[in-house]
Amino acid sequence: MDTEMEISILMQDGCTRKEAEMYLARGTEIYKESDVQDYIDILKANGRYDGETVEYLLAGEHAPDGTNPVEFADRHYLIVYAG
């Protein structure tokens, strides 16, 4: 996914362009729905996996702190905000 696409997804989540650029510079990551397993693996590696995360993420409901599911261009993404 290119930077412009990532900025557009962050803007869909309510960020201004400047905020989106700042978040990306700080390490914010955006996962396609098909890549959510990668994110879950990160949660497990950091001891933050609660066992229900898959259901939360796929349902677009309560995601863990610092994350936000977003729909953009008829696709689902998961934003993992950094600082």
Confidence (pLDDT) at 62: 53
Taking the domains of the chain in order of start, what are their residue ranges?
Answer: 3-80
Confidence of residue 23 (pLDDT cuts 50, 70, 90): very high
Q: What values do phi and psi take at 16, rounded to 5?
A: -80, 170
Rg of the chain in Å (alpha carbons): 12
Average pLDDT, the chain: 82
- DSSP output for 46-76: TT---S-HHHHHHHT--PPTTEEEEEETTEE
Confidence (pLDDT) at 60: 56
Confidence of residue 38 (pLDDT cuts 50, 70, 90): confident
Over range 5-18, report the average pLDDT. 96
